Amino acid sequence: MVKTWDELDQLQPIVMKMLKNSILKNRVAHAYLFEGMRGTGKKETAIILAKVLLCESLLDQYLPCDECSNCKRINSGNHPDVHIVEPDGLSIKKAQVQALQEEFSKKGVESSRKIYMIVHADKMTVNAANSLLKFLEEPSAQTAAILLTEQTQQILPTILSRCQVLSFKPLSPANMTEILLQNGLSRQNAAVLANLTNNVDEALQLNSDEWFVQAQKIVLKLYEVLKKNPLEAMVTLQGDWFLHFKEKDQIDRGLDLLLLIFKDLLYIQLGKHEQTVYVSEKERLELYALQTSGRRISEQMAAILDSKRKLQANMNPQLLMEQLVLKLQEGSSFV
């Protein structure tokens, strides 16, 4: 994932501008809450802010040098004055917050400032949250708190009111694609994955997952047979789809991949060829786009989205897929 100020500035310009202004005006808040989807750079930004606060040789008054002893130790995760609290099992417990408070009652080992980060702050138990609240109500000028969460609604309102909240926006598919290309992915894989996940690490993991490689092939095959008779599509479901997409999350992923094909058809009809993701199938998809209408594609996309909702409502997966195939084939022909 990105680690430099410039990289994060490209992905989260509003957040980075607000932090830069606070640093230059010497108005860094005593407590921040970084909220946003997984993979949007919250923890990386927290690490950069910690480096800014402890860097021995700031560049342009706000950029950590990444060369001094403090920056290097923060990067490696072993600076004695930077403490990271993460869930112990399923939750962050009161004892963890109390241990943090005890640690912060001592003088900084390397500097007068101490920084703590609470990852998945929404997973604090009620007792842990109340214990932290007392900590936040009596802030030390030399203490900085950074809470990270994907679920703001799970944070106590009293804690929220004592933090400066910075919202991290989901990465655009274009930005995500560029990052994945820089990580060595093919253009098609980068484009497909950028439309499936907002998390770079998850995308890289999926890219090297043989299950995912096969999933794409099966989805493309299903689309091909949809244009033929209903019987052949049902045979493909039984012989390929149900054998590969077994768990609910796998089926959901398969439906997402199928949806991307219809999105590509729509983009082609609208003349937005550069937004298509199945690059290697471009010629075939351009031909298929001529054989259908925008209205029909929209109906088919709506049917897939409806199936995703039914899946989450625990509808029988086999019945769900059989009904979907029939809806996608409605009429005497595919168009």
Query: Hey, where are the domains in the chain?
Result: 5-168, 209-328
**CA 205 to chain CA mean position, Å:** 13
219 with 254: CB under 8 angstroms?
yes
Buried b (16+ CB within 10 A) or exposed e, 102-113: eebeeeeeebeb
Q: Is the per-residue pLDDT at 237 higher than 70? A: yes
Once rounded to an integer, what is the mean pLDDT over residues 70-96?
A: 94
| Range with lowest mean pLDDT among 101-105, 107-111, 205-209, 248-252 | 107-111
Closest CA to 84 of 144, 168, 140, 4: 144
| Range with lowest mean pLDDT among 17-31, 117-131, 224-238, 264-278 | 224-238
Residue type (1 letter), 179: I
What is the pLDDT confidence band of residue 107, given thresholds at 50, 70 and 90? Answer: low
What is the pLDDT confidence band of residue 335, given thresholds at 50, 70 and 90? Answer: very low
Once rounded to an integer, what is the mean pLDDT over residues 102-122?
A: 82
The 10s digit of each residue's pLDDT in 258-295 is 999 999 999 999 999 989 999 889 899 999 999 999 99
1 with 201: CB under 8 angstroms?
yes
pLDDT at 123: 96
DSSP type of residue 124:
B
pLDDT at 286: 94
231-245, 250-264, 280-294, range with greatest mean pLDDT: 250-264
Q: 209-328 has which fold? A: Zinc Finger, Delta Prime; domain 3 (1.20.272)
DSSP type of residue 108:
P
**% of the chain surpassing 70 pLDDT:** 96
Give the position of tokens 């729509």: 266
For the domain covering 5-168, report its CATH number: 3.40.50.300
What is the pLDDT confidence band of residue 331, given thresholds at 50, 70 and 90? Answer: low
Q: Which residues contact 18 (CB under 8 A, 6 or more apart)?
A: 166
Give the residues across from 92 on adjacent strands.
124
Q: How far is Cα 266 from Cα 278, in angstroms, rounded to an integer?
A: 13
pLDDT at 161: 93
